[in-house]
């Protein structure tokens, strides 16, 4: 999950050079929180700083770590920086929402054994990170449905078949490889990375 988060952050850097700072933490119940505001005092959180060159992550506490440093006080964020931070935060929340909705559907559908605690955690994570706007929430639910399909055994099989078809010496005609690639691209590509 951390690798996927790092990949998302790297991709966002390529599309926007705006400064952003986001805090991510997991509470005692396992619920994932994302915020552009510092977490409550005493909460250990991962602070994700995104500047013009590369992201850096460091674990902090909500109790104001970094005090006493010789660094000058940071300048207030510009409107562009605030907008970039809010855009990043929205994308991270959507990612957590979609993952929680997909897992919730899979686990409540009987596809995997689970516990009441896990169901509660997933519901809380979805409630905290999914949009309250009905149109946006419907989009997030559609993304979760596409993620469910992309993670399904049939898509795993389709991606494996494509890999075998593309192996050196396989002798599979290009039109068949293209058709398999088109199937994978249309049906088996995750909506989130």
- Express each pLDDT in 64-117 by its tens digit: 444 445 656 667 777 887 888 888 888 889 999 999 999 999 888 877 788 899
For residues 115 and 158, state if they share a domain. Answer: no
For residues 34 and 81, state if they share a domain. Answer: yes
**According to the model, what pLDDT value does residue 109 have?**
82
The model's confidence at residue 20, banded by pLDDT at 50, 70 and 90, is low
The answer to whether residue 57 scores a pLDDT higher than 80 is no
For residues 174 and 102, state if they share a domain. Answer: no
The string of DSSP codes covering the chain is -HHHHHHHHHHHHHH----EEEEEEE-TT--EEEESSPPPTT-EEEEEEE-SS-EEEEEEETTTTTTT-SSPPPPPPPHHHHHHHHHHHHHHHHHHHHHHHHHHHHHHTTSS---HHHHHHHHHHHHHHS-SSHHHHHHHHHHHHHHHHHTSHHHHHHHHHHHHHHSTT----HHHHHHHHHHHHHHS--S--
| Structure-model confidence comparison of residues 10 and 52, the more confident one | 10
**According to the model, what pLDDT value does residue 110 have?**
77
| Structural domains in the chain (count) | 2
The model's confidence at residue 55, banded by pLDDT at 50, 70 and 90, is very low
Asked whether residue 47 is assigned to any structural domain, the reply reads yes
pTM of the model: 0.63
Q: Which domain holds residue 24?
A: 2-65+77-151
For residues 158 and 114, state if they share a domain. Answer: no
Nearest to 25 by CA among 132, 126, 103, 125: 125
For residues 126 and 176, state if they share a domain. Answer: no
For residues 111 and 169, state if they share a domain. Answer: no
CA distance 125 to 30: 8
Angle, vertex CA 20, rays to CA 36 and CA 126, nearest 5: 45
**Residue 102: phi, psi to the nearest 5?**
-65, -45
Asked whether residue 106 is assigned to any structural domain, the reply reads yes
Average confidence (pLDDT) over 115-142: 94
Q: Return the structure tokens found at 135.
A: 């149109």
For residues 159 and 102, state if they share a domain. Answer: no
For residues 23 and 86, state if they share a domain. Answer: yes
Express each pLDDT in 146-167 by its tens digit.
Answer: 999 998 899 999 999 999 999 9
**Residue 9: phi, psi to the nearest 5?**
-65, -40
| Structure-model confidence comparison of residues 37 and 100, the more confident one | 100
CA distance 193 to 181: 19
**According to the model, what pLDDT value does residue 72 have?**
65
Asked whether residue 70 is assigned to any structural domain, the reply reads no
For residues 91 and 119, state if they share a domain. Answer: yes
The answer to whether residue 51 scores a pLDDT higher than 60 is no
For residues 159 and 120, state if they share a domain. Answer: no
For residues 45 and 82, state if they share a domain. Answer: yes
Mean pLDDT score of the chain, rounded to an integer?
A: 80
């Amino acid at each position: 999950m951390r690798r996927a988060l790092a990949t998302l952050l790297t991709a966002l850097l390529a599309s926007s050079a705006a400064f952003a700072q986001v805090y991510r933490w997991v509470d005692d119940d396992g619920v994932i929180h994302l915020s552009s505001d510092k977490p409550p005092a005493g909460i250990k959180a991962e602070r994700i700083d995104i500047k013009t060159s590369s992201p850096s992550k460091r674990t902090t506490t909500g109790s104001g770590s970094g005090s006493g440093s010789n660094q000058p006080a940071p300048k207030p964020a510009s409107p562009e920086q605030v907008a970039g931070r809010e855009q990043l935060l929205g994308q991270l929340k959507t990612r957590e929402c979609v993952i929680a909705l997909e897992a919730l559907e899979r686990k409540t559908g009987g596809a995997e054994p689970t516990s009441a605690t896990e169901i509660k955690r997933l519901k809380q994570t979805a409630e905290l990170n999914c949009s309250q706007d009905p149109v946006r929430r419907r989009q997030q639910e559609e993304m979760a449905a596409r993620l469910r399909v992309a993670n399904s055994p049939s898509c795993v099989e389709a991606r494996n078949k494509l890999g075998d078809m593309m192996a050196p010496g396989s002798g599979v005609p290009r039109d068949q490889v293209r058709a398999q690639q088109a199937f994978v691209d249309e049906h088996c590509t995750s909506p989130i990375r």
